[in-house]
Amino acid sequence: MRKSEVTRKTNETNITLSLSIDGTGQAEINTGSGFFDHMLTLFTRYSRFDLSVSCIGDTAVDYHHSIEDIGIALGIAFKDAVGDKMGISRFSDVMLPMDESLILCAVDISGRAYCHFDLPVSSEKIGEYDTELTEEFFSAFLNNAGVTLHIKKLHGTNSHHITEAAFKAFGMVMRKACKIDNDFSREIPSTKGIL
């Protein structure tokens, strides 16, 4: 089983996280932000990863430190869990609709971090959640996981729908990219021989 546990404690957050890539989509999420709990639960459901996250953060300030640090911890856990990437499909993409929203999402589990984030929303907040934190989460995850992500809004007006569709799409591409490709199950998916 490809799994990992991470504990991250700073002056701003205290995070305990466990991840299993070969899961069934089970989520136990408590980030301090109800909306972000919802987004991680959606990610977990569509990735089929099992994810447990507990974060005690300085939410009296705002959610920035908590959400960024969860991205860091999840990225570290993912990099550890996926290991040498033997046999994974590596690439995946999806075009995901949710009502009026349409999101393009593509990933390469390459060992190289890159985030092309083009997900404009009209609202600064969804409930208590600052919408700019979506990019902060993705950037923190990708930088620590060594993953390339392109995510783009093709259409959409509702900030909740756009953000929700993005997390669903991200879950779907991560599930597909992490799947073992039986034709290449004993190979690293790179002409370099290493990722």
Tokens found for residue 101: 């929203």
Rounded CA separation 72/66 (Å) = 10
CATH architecture of 3-184: 2-Layer Sandwich (3.30)
Max CA pair span of the chain: 51
pLDDT tens digits along 101-149:
999 999 999 999 999 999 999 999 999 999 999 999 999 999 999 999 9
Residue 33 above 90 pLDDT?
yes
Q: Residue 10: how many CB atoms within 10 A of its CB?
A: 12
Residue 187 above 90 pLDDT?
no
pTM: 0.96
Give me the residue spans of the domains in the chain: 3-184
- What residues form DSSP beta bridges with 23? none
Helices (H), 101-156: 133-145
Helices (H), 101-148: 133-145
